Amino acid sequence: MLKQHGRALLVGAVICAVLAVLPLLFGRERDDLLNLITLVFVFVTLAQSWNILGGFAGQINLGHAAFFGTGTLVTRLLWFTGWPLPLALAAGGLAAVIVALVIGLPTFRLRGVYFSIGTLALAEALRITVTNTQPMVSAMPVTQLASYTLQPRYYLGLALAAACVAITYALAHSRLGLGMIAVREDEAAAEATGVDALRHKTAALVLSSLFAGLTGGLWAFKEVSFYLYAPFGPLWTFDPLLIVFIGGVGTVIGPVVGGVFYVLLREFLAQVLVEAHLIVFGILFILVVLLLPGGLVEAWHRLRHLATVGGKRPSAPKTVGV
């Protein structure tokens, strides 16, 4: 087990080191590439944050955009009023946690599809409220725009993605993470064995919303202009959900693989098919759910098993670990 953890840590460190060097190699000549990779960081972190609550604790949250949007809105407004960026980011993450507790704790009384519908309804109510109260475009001030570069946004995205993946990995191998998985599999049975279901679901909700809010803060720092209500849109819920299902629900590596796959394919299809790329993603999601319920991680396990045992039917992949 220690050898496995050491190997995972080494691989992660090497990947982060390579990614950290890229801006130094390309400079401002390849801002398009840095922007693309920064988008990957955004969606990997957002998907991994959804995975903590939906994949590990089994609470299918359809209101994730409320956490992302809250982090974006609070960070943007505080940063533009003169707050240092680190404090504005922290405030955005904390605000997302508060919103999550307000939304999540009452809806935890609901089970199954009713929980999902409840989170979606409350998130939509928040989106409508922000749309009515903040209908304007938020544009970056000229003084900040004059010194705008992608490198600090890139490094912030890298740090957030690395931290979220590392914490999720640690969670997957901890007593807290195992308790969440027990609640996901059978809440009544978990409570009968001494697992406090509410405490574990609340812990998953706090971690999930914190990273979603911090990702929203990154988005507020990165984007030059946008409508303040746009980050509350349902796409900021369903895109991470799609990424997690493509990569592998309840795994650590799944949202990472799914995030890279999603962003690259989306950018390619958006150029080739324009608006029709949304239809392609809808079809892709249906195929993944029907043929590969474990996502790309399950496909990799199957291929590796076939290569190892020569064609025998593979066993189901683990839902925790990598």
pLDDT value, residue 141:
87
Number of helices followed by number of strands (H, E) in the chain: 14, 2
Lowest mean pLDDT: which of 153-162, 262-271, 307-316?
307-316
Pair 295, 247: CB distance under 8 Å: yes
Residues 6+ away with beta carbon under 8 Å from 34: 22, 23, 26, 150, 151, 154
Exposure class string for 16-45: b at 16+ Cβ within 10 A, else e: beebeeebeeeeeeebeebeebbbbbbbbb
pLDDT value, residue 32:
87
pLDDT value, residue 278:
66
Q: Mean pLDDT throughout 113-124?
A: 89
Strands (E), 193-311: 225-227
Query: Which residue did the predictor score with more confidence, 267 or 63?
Result: 63
Distance CA 60, CA 299 (A): 23
Instruction: Give Cα separations from 269 to 181, 259, 288 (angstroms).
Output: 36, 15, 18
Distance CA 205, CA 238 (A): 17
Pair 156, 71: CB distance under 8 Å: no
pLDDT value, residue 312:
54
Q: Is residue 110 very low, low, confident or very high in pLDDT (cuts 50, 70, 90)?
A: confident
Site of tokens 């000229």: 142
What's the whole-number average pLDDT of the chain? Answer: 88
Lowest mean pLDDT: which of 4-8, 20-24, 175-179, 244-248?
4-8
Strands (E), the chain: 137-139, 225-227
pLDDT value, residue 322:
61
> Has residue 317 got a pLDDT over 70?
no
> Has residue 196 got a pLDDT over 90?
yes
> Has residue 313 got a pLDDT over 80?
no
Q: Tell me: the pLDDT tens digits for 279-304? A: 776 777 777 777 766 677 776 667 77
Distance CA 93, CA 39 (A): 19
Q: One-letter amino acid identity for 163?
A: A
